[in-house]
Structures are given as structure tokens and as C-alpha cells.
Amino acid sequence: MGEITVSARDMDHLLADSSSSYGAPYQRAYAELAATHRGRPVAEIVPLLRAAAARALLGFTSADLIEQAQAISSGAPYELRVRVTG
């Protein structure tokens, strides 16, 4: 399980929100990779996740990105604990 801290005003960077104008939510990129990269090597998925996190302005650790890539590759669920700050 990964963890990330996100400010309340930047939640649309993490979660897709139809009322937001933010164009690169991480949730959307993750879902697209999960749909298209199952069974692909983790080493192929990590840079794509890293780029998505950079576009979303989110600071995932390398370990978190590797765990996420492993979940995508294997088709396993991935749990992310989100801490929201004021």
C-alpha cells in the first residue's frame, strides 16, 4: 500500500473530477495504464507512471511507483492511502 499527502485544493491532481479544469489527474492515467499494460514488464510501466505523476504534480516515491507498476502488471488491486491537508 502506498501513501501520499495532497492538499485539499490539489485533490483534482490525484482524482478525476468532472467539475475541475485540471487536465492531467493521476487517477485517469493510472486507469489507462491498468487497462493497457497488464502483463507488461514493471520496468516498462514505472517510467510511464513517473511521467503521469510529474504531469499531475504529485510526489510519489520510487517505491510507490514500483508497487503501482507491479499491481498494473499483475492485474492486482492497488491500495493508496491519501492524507489530505488543509
pLDDT digits (tens, 9 = 90+) for 41-57: 999 999 999 999 999 99
Q: Could you tell me what percent of the chain has a pLDDT over 70?
A: 100
* Residue 70 confidence (pLDDT) above 90: yes
| Structure confidence at residue 49 (pLDDT) | 98
**How would you write the chain as a 3-class SS string?**
CEEEEEEHHHHHHHCCCCCCCCCCCHHHHHHHHHHHCCCCCHHHHHHHHHHHHHHCCCCCCHHHHHHHHHHHHHCCCCCEEEEEEC
* Residue 18 confidence (pLDDT) above 80: no
- pTM, full prediction: 0.90
Mean of the per-residue pLDDT values of the chain? 93
Span 19-45, average pLDDT: 93
